[in-house]
Structure 1
Amino acid sequence: MDNTAHIIGELNKTGQVEVIKKTTSFKGYFQVDSYRFRHTLFAGGMSEEIPREIFERGHAAAVLPFDHKTGEIILIEQFRPGAYAASQDPWLLEVVAGIIEENENPEDLTHREAMEEAGCTLGRLKKIGTFLMTPGGSSETITLFCGEILHHEKKESYGLDHEGEDIRTHTMKAEQGFELLVEGKITNAITAIALQWLELNQTSLTSVWSNETQNA
């Protein structure tokens, strides 16, 4: 067995978690749940009782709009209070993203948010993956896509007024996005993942979407 297969085998071993108590400590726009639990140890046996608070903000989906015909992408810019609280520049360059609502799937959310946040009509979606953002303290996952740009309605700003959104778009060649990442101008993790994925897969994705269009 090679080392990679050994590692995968180890990862596939299922541990056990015993939840002793779970309560909701706070419920507002977001929710915080308090857990007391034990879990199996790598050396065998069970851990001592561990108290933790988990931030519940729902699950999200995100998309990097990409025009395979021109090689252009769309990034959005908006104010983020979490970045401000972390003493970072709070106006972040990001991919389009939003919280998945009840009875909504990630694909539908992606199309809806692309229109709301960027005036962008999407066609085909290529799923990149589903990622835990801060698993040490939050249950949030983000399902990430690369989305085909069919049309971009250009306006000065986008977003929903009742949600306090003030968003503008930046259309650029994909290579410019890669350069922004290298220069440290992209500080949003899921955006960094999306740009790195596209840098690795732009040629193959362009080929697939172009061939599908020709054969349609």
Structure 2
Amino acid sequence: MTNLFFYGTLRYQPLLELVLSEPGVELDTVSAELPDHTVRAVANQPFPMVVPASGKRAQGVLVRGLTASQIARLNYYEGGFDYDLRPMTVILEDGSAAEAQVYFPQEGLWTPGGTWDLESWAAQWGALTLHAAAEVMAFYGRLTPAEIARSFRAIRVRAAARLAAAQRPANPGRDVSVDVVVENHHRAYVNYFGVDEMDLRHRRNDGSMSDSLNRRALMTGQASVVLPYDPVRDRVLIVEQFRAPVFMIGDPAPWMWEAVAGMIDPGETPEQAARRELLEEAHLEARKLEQAGRAYASSGSSTEFVHLFVALADILAETDAGGLASEGEDIRSHILSFDALMNLIDTQQIKDLPLVSLANWLARHRDRLRA
């Protein structure tokens, strides 16, 4: 049996219970403090770190009597963040001392930011972190901490997408709590994308329940897709990049002409993502963003939900150095007149569905934008 002191996100009881999840075992917790330390936010990250601070006390919770399997689950979850356990002495509420293990970040790994507050963190990041942790822990015993850590960013993107999906309007004629029965949920794969598998039944149009159906879905996040349009010069800018899935299916032309696009990061709005991707991929700044639709890209196979925009901008130059090298992007842009774009659409030379949708939206709204 082992005692652990938690000062950060694992003080959030729902998260602690999810990570430690061991049926029939109740947690023995008590408030405690770690002398001569303080808790600081990690710069540009939604979690904290503990740092030495003479005379300060880091607030936290001591969890006593953890089992070997619970410690293994904790090490799996925290191992992906490159934290190490160290023996320390903590002070309990009654003033007595207790020995405990504490997770410390590896030296120089993170940059400390401002003061970190659990309540503020829970309000902003708690729900997202629970979704992310559920996906992480689903692969406990199947992947190493290092393997799961490579997918952390994508997992958080998917967690944010789950929260956004839950906020969309419900179907007034259906109640998913009774009209869909999940018999089994298996997270089959995790990487940049995830794959979830379910055995489920759903309410049929005649009111009966369907037979058990086995379905899989490509789990991904939300994306912003934006077509830059210059209403003064009446032209657009599109981008070209290599697309591995198009190559994998055997298409002889996997370099795709597309609209600018990118995943929406946690805490980012679709509009912010659109403006960020415009700068990264096309070196453009938008004067204004016109909303051109929101929809699932392929609802029969993927969870991707796209936010479509037309960006009003001064389109003056092309680039062959767009995208981020850190993400393996190699993007060039091309300026087209509006008529040339629509000719490519009408002759079916554009194979990217969001670009087709945006071009047709622009065709309907072009006169208004040029007025």
Residue 24 of structure 2: aligned partner: none
Task: Specify which structure has the bigger relative contact order, considering alpha-carbon pairs within 8 angstroms and separated by 6 or more residues.
Answer: 1
Letter in 2 for 1:181: I
- Taking a change above 3 Å as real, the CA distance of residues 70 and 151 of structure 1, as seen in their structure-2 partners, is closer
Letter in 2 for 1:204: R
Contact 2:294 2:307 in 1 (8 A): yes
TM-score (norm 2): 0.51
What SS does the corresponding residue of 1:121 show, helix, strand or coil? coil
Residues 25-52 of structure 1, C-alpha deviations (whole Å, 9 max, x = no match): 1111211111111111011211111111
Question: Is 1:14 aligned to 2:174, yes or no?
Answer: yes
Question: Aligned partners of 1:55 and 1:187: how far apart in 2?
Answer: 20
Residue 171 of structure 1: aligned partner: 335
Contact 2:318 2:332 in 1 (8 A): no
Residues 92-120 of structure 1, C-alpha deviations (whole Å, 9 max, x = no match): 11000001111111000000000100111
Contiguous gaps of at least 5 residues in structure 2: 1-170
Aligned length: 197
Letter in 2 for 1:75: I
Question: Aligned partners of 2:300 and 2:274: how far apart in 1?
Answer: 26
Residue 274 of structure 2: aligned partner: 110
Residue 84 of structure 1: aligned partner: 247
Residue 128 of structure 1: aligned partner: 292
Match of 2:350 among 166, 172, 186: 186
Contact 1:97 1:110 in 2 (8 A): yes
Question: Aligned partners of 1:87 and 1:137: how far apart in 2?
Answer: 19
Question: Is 1:202 aligned to 2:362, yes or no?
Answer: no
Q: Which moved more, 1:137-146 or 1:82-91?
A: 82-91
1:2-81 alignment, distance < 5 Å: 13-14=173-174, 16-81=179-244
Contact 1:19 1:35 in 2 (8 A): yes
How far apart are 1:204 and its partner, in Å? 1.6
Letter in 1 for 2:258: E
How far apart are 1:152 and its partner, in Å? 5.2
How far apart are 1:19 and its partner, in Å? 1.8
Contact 1:80 1:92 in 2 (8 A): yes
Percent identity between matched residues is 29
Contact 1:75 1:95 in 2 (8 A): yes
Match of 1:160 among 306, 324, 339: 324
TM-score (norm 1): 0.86
Question: Aligned partners of 2:345 and 2:277: how far apart in 1?
Answer: 23
Contiguous gaps of at least 5 residues in structure 1: 1-10, 208-216
Letter in 2 for 1:157: A
